[in-house]
Structure 1
Amino acid sequence: MRVPSEASGRLSDAWRFCVGTGRFELALRRDYQDSLALIQREIGFRHIRGHGLLSDGAGVHQPYEYAGARHVRHSFTYVDQVIDAYLELGIRPFVELGFMPSGLASGDQTVFWWQGNVTPPSSWREWAELVRATVAHLVDRYGLDEVRTWPIEVWNEPNLKDFWQDADQDAYHRLYEVSAHAVKEVDASLQVGGPAISPGSDEFLARFADFVAGRSLPIDFVSRHAYTSGPAQHVPFGVHQTLAPASKLLEQFATPRRQLAGGPLEGLPVHITEFNSSYRPDNPVHDTAFHAAYLAPVLAAGGELVDSFSYWTFSDMFEEQGIPTSIFHGGFGLLTHRQIKKPTYHLYAFMARMGEQILARGEDHLVTRDGDGRVTVLAWAPADVTGAPAVDGHTVRLSIPIGEAASAFELRSSVSEEKGNAWAAWRELGRPSSPRPRELDVLREAAEPARSHRGLPVEDGRVDLDLRLDRHEVTLVELTPVVDRTPPWWDDRRLLGLGEESR
């Protein structure tokens, strides 16, 4: 394929706008902060979203009795520590209002191992006070200009009975109304939105839009989630699932705007506040090279459809199904515990090195250029979800515009079944559930991409690339025009082992 010389547009950074995380207070742990620091150095997400800001583990809602009456103290001891750590690492909260504090809950239904309460409040007045106090504290501590940049989302997946009692949409509408007004009472410029629904409930969003418009409620964005896995097939400490093609994720991304077209919420920003292949935190597909190849076309094209799509999650520091029993356990994370990089981590790190100008985009590649003339090519092998044998030897051929240089420097980084695949190395080590320090070093080393470099000739301002990809390979090629600065007296042929004189 002949790549055009002129850019067709700018590469959206919707893929890095937000990333998911485990429950709120996990951010107090050292391994969590070490993992997030690594992610931010090499990828650099803008926001971070997770559950449990208002659950008991964060300790915000503290009811007590005094002088024969009920009172509530709002405590932000943990909230401040977590958000301070986020901001120090260059990432901002994408605030999720949930779950229900036990002292305010109307029932005892919970979700997850850590028992987040998913019932409506026993007092709507007290819930409004909780939301208002929390948002006002954030504004007071971090400043209005800062908190204006933090989207505030009302609840999580209220269309599922597991996450909202009876999946009662009318009750959710009231929760949204009370919450949105409480946010705006702090300051009208703060962003509030929802309904953060899971896939498969198209009618929920339509009804929500009519309710918000009918009541003239404040709303600044619409949110939903996207997953492509089938029902869980359980094994001890894990699951297996079928997957729909990755194109189905892009179809889900496009759904909110299609549904809202012509309606009262048309034109609002759309945030996919969770997406992944499987919705289970114990599915081994998340750890594999297949997963990186599967998601590559989603990262390459998703920004054309939504304002953000948030990978769920950045780290395996995650306990919804209980404390993980092994370092590789199918967790959502881009990183395992102890900062072992998975192939999908490198997909994101490769995207972070792409240029801003889009030159070409196809079913197996994305080509960009930056302001210095460096051209980057992200290419990926097919990820077949039918169970057919994986393709080995997929080829991507491109003619790349590079300018008037005499040569170009190619730096290539790759992950595949054989390269940059710590999960494969872990299997070969016998699947140690708690690797010893030396084994951790081996796994971290095995997790690094395979890298190669060479000089390429430029003919008529172009470089011809012939990329042969291994099974489930994702590769990044960086092409830099070369300015030859070799001194006139230098002759490599005089070096032993390089020239004729060494023979």
Structure 2
Amino acid sequence: VYTEKNGKPVYDWHIVDGIIDTYRARGVRPYLEIGFMPEALSAAPKGVPYRRAWKPGNDYKGITAGWSYPPNDYAKWGELVYQWTRHNVVRYGRAEVERWYFEVWNEANLDFYWSGKPQEFYRMHDVAIDAVRRALPTARVGGPDVAGSGDAFMDDFLTHVTTGKNYATGKIGTPTDFLSFHAKGQPSVVDGHVRMGIANQLKTADAGFAKIAAIPALARKPIIIGENDPEGCAACPGPANAYRNGPLYASYTAASYARLWTLARRRGVTLEGALSWSYTFVGQPWFAGYRQLASNGVDLAVLNVFRLFAKLGDEQVAANSDGEIALDAIVQNGVRDAPDVGALATRDRAGKVAILLWNYHDDDVPGPDAAVHVALGGKHGQTARLWRVDATHANAFGAWQDLGSPAKPTADQVAKLTAASRLVAEPIATTATGIDVRIPRQGVVLVELQP
């Protein structure tokens, strides 16, 4: 986006325009991370390369290079951000860009992502936020998307944006419409199988909520978990990451996301959203084991759980399960003995009720189905349907294995995989007492009741 000719800026937006155009064509609202540092603006010492070669299997910390340094000219850095934001407003319209999220950098509390001092980060952040707001005074700005709950770095950042002197304006505080951090699980291999680490992710989220709740000026600000995933490296395959292709990732997502909102309510904070840090890995083998939502254009089971989330209404209603692991227990210990058979229920403005059910376990080993009886209080519709995500439903990976795991599927096989990846609605009978449904281990079901 930025080079210089004879010391003067040259802006080029065509790559980032293409990305945002693609997002918008698919109905995606951008969450924009301003970074990293363009080569012409990097304050990296002489001899430090701007970028380094990296591939899966290499030490991830080896990526550190000139892109991770502060700007050598804060005025030019601010003008870059201003011109880009202004360009977005002209290209997409003020009303559209007002719906976006702008934050600065990625995980600046880690020294392999940020090679400057914390105070230099505050300055870079303040200048960037001021530039966004100069181009669009109503822009939604925040941050800082730290790794984990951010430790002391996050504490000091929160102090700076509330009571510190703004490096760009000289005033006290920095405009902050939302706050963001990252929460990750920690899978491992135990006795030859994958064991998920849901407790690690939930503990991290709770710690992040607690930091924000402790500052009255920020406690009611919306929170975005900017990366919310079972582990930290989307581009790193490996035995512990073998959960990614099939229904384990899907059931983990249902069980973990449901707890995030419960934790937020308990802390008295506002969780506005959580983002999956997933990529499209072009030209890779089928089901190669990267963290992604589709493989070669065929949807994975986890994407179908996000589709089930989209069927939920805007009002959460009470739902209790005697098979659900208690909140404090799952935060501390995960799911190691009995499975977590949980429920989350919503209602929309038209009165439609949607009930998300799951049968989750940290250990990726066979287990019995959960025989679930959904008792419905009050009035409920006479017509109901459900969608399933499990080993044999909406699971392209299982279908690929059934085909013999072909390295180069034929066109006919790709069509079969695509068909197997899709959610299919099934009718389900309601009785005077409710609904009965069986959920396989690592399965997710969404029941919809029409008013």
TM-score range, shorter chain: 0.7 to 0.9
Does residue 31 of structure 2 align to residue 94 of structure 1?
yes
201, 204, 211: which is aligned to 2:160? 211
* Cα distance in structure 2, aligned partners of 1:371 and 1:450: 24
> In the alignment, what sits opposite 1:473?
443
Does residue 348 of structure 2 align to residue 370 of structure 1?
yes
- The one-letter amino acid paired with 1:130 is L
* Cα distance in structure 2, aligned partners of 1:274 and 1:353: 22
Q: What is the TM-score with the length of structure 2 in the denominator?
A: 0.79
Q: 1:451 to 1:144 in 2, by over 3 A?
A: closer
Shift of 1:209: 1.3
- Within 5 Å, give how 1:45-84 maps onto structure 2: 60-65=1-6, 70-84=7-21
* Cα distance in structure 2, aligned partners of 1:271 and 1:248: 18
Work out the number of aligned pairs and report it: 395
**TM-superposition CA deviations, 1:265-287 (whole Å, max 9, x none):** 33222111111102222333121
> In the alignment, what sits opposite 1:414?
388
387, 392, 395: which is aligned to 2:368? 392
Note if contact 2:293-2:303 (Cα within 8 Å) is conserved in structure 1.
yes
**TM-superposition CA deviations, 1:45-101 (whole Å, max 9, x none):** xxxxxxxxxxxxxxx213112xxxx21121223333333333333222211101111
Q: 1:83 to 1:403 in 2, by over 3 A?
A: same
Larger Rg: 1
> In the alignment, what sits opposite 1:139?
89
Q: 1:442 to 1:374 in 2, by over 3 A?
A: same
Note if contact 2:144-2:180 (Cα within 8 Å) is conserved in structure 1.
yes
> In the alignment, what sits opposite 1:161?
111
**TM-superposition CA deviations, 1:341-389 (whole Å, max 9, x none):** 211112111122223333333431122333444332211102224x6x4
> In the alignment, what sits opposite 2:220?
267
- Three-state SS of the structure 2 residue aligned to 1:376 is strand
**TM-superposition CA deviations, 1:452-478 (whole Å, max 9, x none):** 324434x3xxx4222221121111222
Does residue 417 of structure 2 align to residue 443 of structure 1?
yes
> In the alignment, what sits opposite 1:244?
197
Superposed structure 1 runs of 4+ greater than 4 Å apart? 111-116, 230-233
Note if contact 2:315-2:348 (Cα within 8 Å) is conserved in structure 1.
yes
Note if contact 1:110-1:118 (Cα within 8 Å) is conserved in structure 2.
no
> In the alignment, what sits opposite 2:331?
none
Shift of 1:109: 5.0
> In the alignment, what sits opposite 1:350?
308
Note if contact 1:95-1:153 (Cα within 8 Å) is conserved in structure 2.
yes
267, 291, 310: which is aligned to 2:275? 310
Note if contact 2:196-2:362 (Cα within 8 Å) is conserved in structure 1.
no
Does residue 206 of structure 2 align to residue 254 of structure 1?
yes
Q: Which has the higher contact order (CA 8 A, sep 6+)?
A: 1
Note if contact 2:390-2:440 (Cα within 8 Å) is conserved in structure 1.
yes
Q: 1:191 to 1:375 in 2, by over 3 A?
A: closer
Q: What is the TM-score with the length of structure 1 in the denominator?
A: 0.71
Note if contact 2:186-2:201 (Cα within 8 Å) is conserved in structure 1.
no
* Cα distance in structure 2, aligned partners of 1:218 and 1:110: 32
Gaps of 5+ in 1: 1-59, 234-239, 482-503
Work out the percentage of aligned pairs sharing the same amino acid: 27
Note if contact 1:361-1:367 (Cα within 8 Å) is conserved in structure 2.
yes
> In the alignment, what sits opposite 1:490?
none
- The one-letter amino acid paired with 2:387 is S
